[in-house]
Amino acid sequence: MPLLHYLDQGQGQPLVILHGLFGTLDNWQTLARRWATEAGLRVISVDLRNHGRSFHSPEHTYALMAQDVLALFDYLQLGAETTLMGHSMGGKVAMRFALDYPERLARLIVLDIAPRFSNMEHQDEILAGLQSVNLATITNRQEADAALAQHIHSVGVRQFLLKNLYRQEDNSFAWRINLPVLAAQLAAIGEETISATPFLKPALFIRGGKSDYITAEDKMTGIPALFPNSQVATVVDAGHWVHAEKPEEIFGMVKAFVGA
């Protein structure tokens, strides 16, 4: 199995960061740099399989993605003092890892996702937009943006997605994400996180106050059932992209929880 692409910066207690669906480690770079320089942490940002500069695979399950992260932990010789943090899909990878390999972690941080099944229908427009970009004919990023705009009205979401577009050596455009596989596996990406044994170490769930990815019911029953030593914190004026919308708050919450 190839190793995941990652960026390792800073020295100190390790913090491993996993991005969400259609994301890359670049989404976290400003905060990662701050945790490394201002909080004294060793920050390892990761591209998950079928994303960023990591390998493409026809399989995209949480069990396999957790194994990918385990292989990276082994390669980097990360000890049990490590904190694992993930957003959205990356949060589900982090939960799966914590439940499967609890001895490898000191604590868990999950941003705006719950263990329950997530309906992925809201991603249909994003997939339609990505699939509408004709990579064979576009000559610049503006043309790609215009195609996306037919399906996705949010400029911010389009800019986020266009981070995946790059020029190949022959000057043609390509996606860094493995779009066909992610489209085919979309239902699996929403699957419920289950485990016979809970993760007993500290866990922090951070939800956006304007997001419905973590509900009151999740907070009362779903999260504590698997993560009994957990707390749920709300960033009031943030949506699902809580770290992008409220970076200052996320910087402080993570720093405090890790004890940096």
**Catalytic residue numbers?**
88, 240
Q: What is the DSSP letter of 120?
A: -
Q: Which pair of tokens denotes residue 222? A: 């779903």
CA–CA separation, 58 and 90 (whole Å): 18
Q: Which pair of tokens denotes residue 56? A: 């493409």
Q: Which pair of tokens denotes residue 116? A: 């329950």
Query: Angle of helix 29-37 relative to helix 247-258, nearest 10 degrees?
Result: 40
What is the three-class DSSP state of 94?
Answer: helix
Give the phi and the psi of residue 166 in degrees, each rounded to 5. Answer: -145, 160
Q: What is the CA radius of gyration of the chain?
A: 18
Q: What share of the chain is helix, strand, coil (3-state, %, to 5)?
A: 40, 15, 40
For 134, other C-beta atoms within 10 Å of its C-beta total 11
Q: Which pair of tokens denotes residue 63? A: 């069990």
